[in-house]
């Protein structure tokens, strides 16, 4: 190609390049995804916040109805509703049990698995089987195991709680928290396993050189080295916990007994869909998300400070 | 070689840090530590697997036996519970609904997710940075905030209740999948792409005949991860479907548990039979393809 033709070609092309980038076809490639994000995330996100500040109700499609701005009224309704307050209290109990248990068990099992020589494949699969199974399916077997005359109570004999686990006001939420820990643990073990495999061998060697025993090595080498993974595990477990719906809906028959295991998302379903107050439900959602963000920020501060 | 699939480094990942075993400490002999570790691991495996075993034998017994001796069934196993649950919820129809829901999500995710992941990793165009920031942002928006507006829009405004489209729409393109695709396309060597471009290949052709074959293992991981989302999802299809013949299996089984089970002859048996049918496809897929479900992929997918 001669020098001349290159120069004449490059002129307009360079202008296009600065305007659209070197591969404008990329815009075409991402268009379906961007449209999807706009329709399913961005717009509903704004809609949720808008709805929570307006008197929103279901109307016939196409009907033009007035939906006046009501300020913080929906939030007032939510915060003075004892059932909603109870559900937020319940989720705090849930998180206090679920998150530390998840972090400790996942890290211990991942560390043991990382050092295991035989049966690693079998163990890895065994650990994530509950994670890949539908909640609805495993809820079925937990209902069976934890029913009043179920296997767990026959095993405990006279120590069995009365009323039984899922119908006991003070045990229903903790049982759900343990169920979710069991169900999700495999995923968090895999996260920790990835983090453990990135720890340089030299760290273990120098710990051994200093005469550190296994517990000491675990505490002063492994725990600090996986700290970023711990932040992630805590935040993801908090988000999963705040999304709790299927378990109280099915395990405790809709958040019973007496709302002792109702979750905020369950209340959103009851208020928004069953009772037709989507504006109140949207306000619960906004408060819940603000709560999750605050908890995550505080946790991150606590875990990552030195 | 780097051109080999990017996971080769993962597959041969550093195994157990062997030094940890050899550096025996004075307090605890290595063998005893090994025994303790094996005990913890086996106890863990038992706790994770036992409910599945119990689910299976419970689904095969005519009478529920919740005593300790009932853990080992003594003959007379039956498939009665399966026909009981099949009579109550029409398993075939529910499985087809689950399959269409899951298949739709997989199709949209693979087609549009690959295009987006490739563009974000390999193409330079205006707005790329903004879109990538959006991808990160979406991963932290919790579904519960979108739940009510999506319900209002899809069920009330667009009239998509009891339709496959309404079920699929909120999950259509899995953002984690877009993210994993991008990570894997980023790991491919630059020279490969410049060479193909000099040869005059269009981007779609480069994606199809060069990039995708090289990230095939990542594709499998992503498909597995994406599969369990819609297959196991309960809340959204539960909100969208009211007609029994449109409900995926997770929803019809849940309705059986909360409404019908109390009146059945052996309610737990039927519930457990339905649970086995719902659990089997996911469990079988993950056991069969366990090699493709690698830790580092998820790590990179979630961490960035």
**pLDDT confidence tier of residue A11, bands split at 50, 70 and 90:** low
Look at B144 and A265 and tell me if their CB atoms are within 8 Å: yes
Tell me which chain B residue has its CA closest to the CA of residue A150.
B66
Q: Which has the higher per-residue pLDDT, A243 or A14? A: A243
The structure's pTM equals 0.87
**So what's the ipTM on this one?**
0.87
Mean pLDDT of A28-33: 95
Q: What is the pLDDT of residue A105?
A: 96
Strand partners, B61: B77
Per the domain annotation, does B60 fall within a domain? Answer: no
| The pLDDT of residue A173 | 95
Residue to substitute from A112, A119, A137, interface B, most B β-carbons within 10 A? A137
**How far away is chain A from the Cα of B125, in angstroms, using its nearest Cα?**
4
Give yes or no for B68 touching A (CB within 8 A): yes
Q: Examine residue B75 and state whether it is found in any structural domain, yes or no.
A: no
Q: Which fold has domain A73-304?
A: MetI-like fold (1.10.3720)
Phi, psi of B61 (to 5 degrees): -105, 140
Listed by start position, the domains of chain A span 3-52, 73-304
Contact B146 A139 (CB under 8 A): no
Q: What's the structural domain count of chain B? A: 1
Average pLDDT score over residue span A55-72 = 81
Task: Tell me the pLDDT tens digit for each residue of A225-246.
Answer: 999 899 999 999 999 999 999 9
Residues of B in contact with A130 (CB under 8 A): 48, 51-52
**pLDDT given for residue B103 in this prediction:** 97
A37–B150: do the CB atoms touch at under 8 Å? no
Query: Quick one: tokens of A238?
Result: 């908090």
Q: Chain A within 8 Å of B90 (Cβ-Cβ)?
A: no
Banded pLDDT at B121 (limits 50, 70, 90) = very high
Q: State the pLDDT at residue A66.
A: 80
Mind telling me how many Å the CA of A215 is from chain B's nearest CA? 10
Burial B141-159 (b: 16+ CB within 10 A, else e): ebbbbbbbbbbbbbbeeee
**Inter-chain Cβ pairs, chain A and chain B, closer than 8 A:** 333
* pLDDT number for residue B43: 94
Tell me which of B48, B57, B276 to substitute to probe the interface with A (most A C-beta atoms closer than 10 Å): B48
Average pLDDT value for chain A? 89
What percentage of chain B exceeds 70 in pLDDT? 85
- Residues from chain B that touch A142, judged by Cβ atoms under 8 A, are 51
Q: How close A253 gets to chain B, by Cα (Å)? A: 7
Count of helices and strands (H, E) across chain A:
16, 0
Nearest CB to A137; choose among B116, B202, B275: B275
Q: What is the pLDDT of residue A300?
A: 86
The model's pLDDT over B253-299, given as tens digits with 9 standing for 90+, comes to 999 998 876 666 678 889 999 999 999 999 999 999 887 776 555 54
**Residue A149, burial from CB neighbour count under 10 angstroms (0-12, 13-18, 19+):** exposed
- In this complex, do B286 and A132 lie within 8 Å of one another by their Cβ atoms? yes
Percent of chain B topping pLDDT 90: 50
Mean pLDDT on A203-209: 87
Q: Identify the domain containing residue B252 by its residue range.
A: 102-303
Check which CATH number belongs to the domain holding B211 and give it. 1.10.3720.10
Band of the pLDDT at B8, cuts 50, 70, 90?
Answer: very low
On the question of pLDDT at B185 being above 70, the answer is yes
Quick one: pLDDT at residue B65? 78
Kindly report which listed range (A62-71, B8-17, B231-240) carries the lowest average pLDDT score. Answer: B8-17
In degrees and rounded to multiples of 5, residue B31 shows phi and psi of -70, -40
Output Rg (C-alpha) for chain B, integer angstroms: 24
**How far are the Cα atoms of A139, B58, B74, B274 from residue B81, in angstroms, in the given order?**
17, 9, 17, 9
- What average pLDDT does this structure show over B200-209? 91
Cβ within 8 Å, pair A190-B298? yes
Tell me the pLDDT band of A304, cut-offs 50, 70 and 90: confident
A77-117 pLDDT, tens per residue? Answer: 999 999 999 999 999 999 999 999 999 999 999 999 998 77
Structural domain includes residue B121:
yes
Note the pLDDT tens digit of each residue in B135-165.
888 877 778 789 999 999 999 888 899 999 9
Beta-carbon contacts of B35 under 8 Å, excluding residues fewer than 6 positions away, are: none
Q: Within 10 A of A8 (CB to CB), how many other CB atoms are there?
A: 10
Taking 90 as the threshold, does the pLDDT of residue B109 lie above it? yes
Q: Does B36 reside within a domain?
A: no
Mutant choice from B27, B175, B295 vs A, greatest count of A C-beta within 10 A: B295
Contact B152 A47 (CB under 8 A): yes
My answer on whether omega of the bond before B95 falls inside 30° of 0, hence cis, is no
Q: Is the pLDDT of residue A295 over 70?
A: yes
Reply yes or no on whether the pLDDT at A162 is more than 80.
yes
pLDDT number for residue B140: 73
pLDDT band at B304 (very low <50, low <70, confident <90, very high): very low
Give the SS3 label for residue B302: helix
Chain B residue closest in CA terms to A56: B152
In a domain, B202, yes or no: yes
Residue bearing tokens 């330079």: B124
- Chain A residues with CB under 8 Å of B303 CB are 228, 232
As a whole number of angstroms, the distance between CA B38 and CA B28 comes to 15
């Amino acid at each position: 190609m001669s020098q001349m033709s290159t120069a004449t070609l490059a002129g307009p092309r360079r202008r296009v390049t600065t305007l659209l980038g070197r591969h404008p076809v990329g815009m075409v490639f991402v268009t379906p995804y961007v449209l999807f994000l706009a329709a399913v995330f961005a717009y509903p996100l704004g809609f949720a916040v808008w709805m929570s500040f307006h008197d929103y109700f279901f109307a016939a499609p196409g009907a033009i109805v007035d939906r006046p701005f009501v300020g913080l009224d929906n939030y007032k309704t939510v915060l003075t509703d004892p059932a909603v307050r109870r559900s937020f209290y319940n989720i705090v109990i849930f998180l206090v049990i679920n998150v530390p248990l998840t972090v400790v068990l996942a890290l211990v099992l991942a560390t043991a698995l990382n050092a295991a020589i035989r049966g690693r494949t079998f163990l890895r699969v065994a650990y994530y089987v509950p994670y890949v199974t539908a909640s609805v399916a495993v809820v079925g077997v937990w209902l069976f195991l934890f029913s009043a005359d179920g296997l767990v109570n026959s095993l405990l004999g006279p120590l069995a709680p009365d009323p039984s686990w899922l119908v006991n006001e003070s045990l229903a939420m903790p049982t759900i928290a343990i169920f979710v820990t069991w169900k999700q643990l495999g995923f968090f073990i895999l996260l920790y396993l990835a983090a453990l495999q990135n720890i340089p061998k030299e760290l273990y060697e120098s710990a051994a050189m200093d005469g550190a025993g296994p517990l000491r090595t675990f505490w002063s080498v492994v725990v600090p080295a996986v700290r970023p993974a711990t932040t992630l595990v805590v935040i993801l477990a908090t988000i999963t916990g705040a999304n709790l719906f299927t378990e109280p809906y099915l395990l405790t028959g809709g958040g019973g007994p007496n709302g002792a295991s109702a979750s905020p998302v369950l209340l959103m379903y009851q208020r928004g869909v069953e009772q037709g107050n989507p504006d109140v439900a949207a306000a619960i959602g906004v408060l819940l998300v603000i709560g999750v963000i605050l908890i995550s920020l505080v946790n991150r501060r606590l875990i990552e400070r030195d | 070689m780097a051109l080999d699939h990017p996971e080769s480094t993962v597959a041969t990942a550093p195994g157990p840090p062997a030094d940890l075993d050899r550096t025996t400490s004075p307090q605890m002999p290595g063998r005893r530590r090994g025994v303790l570790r094996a005990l913890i691991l086996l106890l863990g495996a038992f706790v994770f697997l036992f409910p599945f075993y119990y689910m299976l034998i419970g689904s095969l017994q005519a009478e529920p036996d919740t005593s300790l001796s009932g853990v080992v069934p003594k003959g007379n196993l039956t498939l009665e519970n399966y026909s009981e649950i099949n009579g109550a919820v029409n398993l075939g129809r529910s499985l087809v609904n689950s399959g269409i829901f899951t298949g739709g999500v997989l199709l949209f995710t693979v087609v549009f997710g690959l295009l987006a992941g490739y563009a974000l990793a390999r193409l330079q165009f205006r707005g790329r940075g903004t879109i990538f920031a959006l991808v990160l942002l979406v991963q932290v928006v919790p579904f519960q905030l979108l739940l009510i507006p999506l319900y209002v829009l899809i069920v009330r405004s667009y009239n998509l209740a009891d339709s496959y489209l309404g079920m699929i729409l909120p999950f259509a393109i899995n953002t984690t999948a877009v993210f994993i695709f991008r990570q894997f396309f980023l790991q491919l060597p630059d020279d490969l792409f410049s060479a193909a471009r000099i040869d005059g290949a269009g981007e779609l052709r480069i994606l199809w005949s060069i990039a995708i074959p090289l990230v095939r293992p990542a594709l499998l991981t992503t498909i597995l991860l994406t599969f369990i989302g819609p297959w196991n999802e309960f809340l959204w299809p539960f909100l969208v479907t009211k007609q029994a013949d449109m409900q995926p299996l997770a929803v019809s089984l849940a309705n059986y548990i909360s409404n019908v089970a109390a009146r059945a002859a052996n309610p737990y048996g039927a519930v457990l039979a339905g649970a086995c049918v719902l659990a089997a496809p996911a469990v079988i897929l993950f056991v069969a393809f366990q090699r493709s479900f690698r830790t580092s992929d998820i790590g990179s997918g979630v961490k960035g």
